[in-house]
Amino acid sequence: MSDLAKTPEATEAETAAEAAGAAAGAPAPAVDPRLLVREEGFKGYWAEFTRRVRGGELGSLPVLVGLIVIAVVFQFQNENFLSASSIANIAVYSSGLGIMAVGIVFVLLLGEIDLSVGSVAGVGAATWAVLNVNHGWPDWAAVLVAVAGGLVLGALHGFFFAKIGVPAFVVTLAGFLGWSGLQEWMMGGEGSINTPSGSIVENLTNYFFEDKAAGYGLALVAVLAYAASLLLDGRRRRAAALPARPTSEVLLRTGLVAVLCFAVAYVLNEPSGARGLPLALVLFLAVLVVADFVARRTAFGRQVFAVGGNPEAARRAGISVDRVRITVFALSGMLGAFGGLFIASLSGGATKSVGGGNTLMLVIAAAVIGGTSLFGGRGKVWSALLGMIVIQSIQQGLNMIGMANAIQYMITGAVLLAAVVIDSVSRRTQKTAGRA
């Protein structure tokens, strides 16, 4: 296990074990004894779970509990909340903002903030519309230029932050104002440009795979990929003489994922109300899978966590902190522009208001509510999915019972505050337990 991949508690336990072994004249054990809980079965897992909860390591537990509560409350208020059409709406409306939230997750892992993501989304939508509709560029070329433009804008933010030393809050606030002006200037006096029928951008949120094989096929691929990742992880751990998940656990985890995936596929394929598997959901999941692989399985991902946890320590370990920061902000800008195309697709075209309003609030709230820490160094890419589902489920449920937008904002704000409070209390608990 590399130094960057070790948790603080694992490192401390290994050090203590080595010292004890040296004092006794015996060779030091190569494995943290607490990693052997898998061999104790259910009792070991329960002991590890309670230890983590007492130590403030709550993970995604509060979000999952919140989702269950939201589903039960709104289903009780309106029996159509968990219907096929309602689930499809939540999936489609979560996709664009969720993709933007993935970029914000990486920024938050650095312990920073990006306030420009909404205006970058607006510039991305405006760039595509002007090139494709006004200047006759091929649809795919206009999309690529729009996404690449977001990457450049994000890298510019990262350059001023990493190389010049301007605080990220100030840089991205300036970007928020400046790129909003650029968006209005690009749109000109028209104010809005309608999405051409049959274009790539229109299909982002309006295309559904109506063949049932598509939904069930994607569910099968997801289950097989998850099972393969567990098996490969176990193989690597056994090759390194580390404890690995027993076959029974692999089967249990795979079975739970299979039930969830095929249940969603079944609901989306219901003939009443749903149109099949949304393309938007497929693209959102693809972004999540790639981003999760980068964050957990690459050297760059480990460097992001290291820089977010302690920039000076990361620098002394030989990590190019400036390069990591610039790359992360470039990634945020690219995903922001891509998400802006989804917003334009939902609104029927590019307008001066794309990326405005509560877009920034929802994107940052999704990352935080999903479990990514505002203090840096802790979180998962899948936080974007969980947090956005929470937000969109609340909005969908309140819309179905006829609640005003003002109430929706207040409830979303309260959920965001609760997430930050949980994060703060969790960090304080970890410090008290000596795990922070």
Question: Which backbone phi and psi does 209 adopt, to 5 degrees?
Answer: -80, 100
Q: Let me know: does 382 contact 59? Beta carbons within 8 Å.
A: no
| Residue 4 banded pLDDT, cuts 50, 70, 90 | very low
Q: What is the pLDDT of residues 139-167, one digit of tens each?
A: 999 999 999 999 999 999 999 999 999 99
Q: What are the beta bridge partners of residue 54? A: none
Question: Which backbone phi and psi does 193 adopt, to 5 degrees?
Answer: -130, 115
Q: Let me know: does 330 contact 155? Beta carbons within 8 Å.
A: yes
pLDDT at position 427, please?
A: 65
Note the Cα 308 to chain centre separation in Å: 16
Q: Give the whole-angstrom CA distance, residue 32 versus residue 281.
A: 40
Cβ neighbours around 388 below 10 Å, total: 30
Sign of the C-alpha dihedral computed for residues 98, 99, 104 and 105 taken in this order: positive
Q: What is the pLDDT of residues 71-105, one digit of tens each?
A: 898 989 888 888 888 888 999 999 999 999 999 99
Sign of the C-alpha dihedral computed for residues 183, 188, 192 and 196 taken in this order: negative
- E runs forming strands in 185-247: 192-194, 208-209
Q: Give the whole-angstrom CA distance, residue 436 versus residue 425.
A: 12
Predicted TM-score (pTM) of the model is: 0.84
Sign of the C-alpha dihedral computed for residues 373, 231, 68 and 217 taken in this order: positive
Q: What is 29-75 written as a DSSP string?
A: PSS-GGGGGGGGTHHHHHHHHHHHHHTT--TTHHHHHHHHHHHHHHH
Q: Give the whole-angstrom CA distance, residue 126 versus residue 130.
A: 6
Q: What is the pLDDT of residues 266-291, one digit of tens each?
A: 888 876 656 789 999 999 999 999 99
Short-list 18, 13, 57, CA closest to 380: 57
Q: What is 117-148 written as a DSSP string?
A: HHHHHHHHHHHHHIIIIIS---HHHHHHHHHH
Q: Give the whole-angstrom CA distance, residue 54 versus residue 341.
A: 43
pLDDT at position 59, please?
A: 62
Q: What is the pLDDT of residues 189-237, one digit of tens each?
A: 767 888 888 899 999 999 999 888 999 999 999 999 999 998 998 888 8
316-336 CB burial, b ≥16 within 10 A, e <16 = eeebebeebbbbbbbbbbbbb
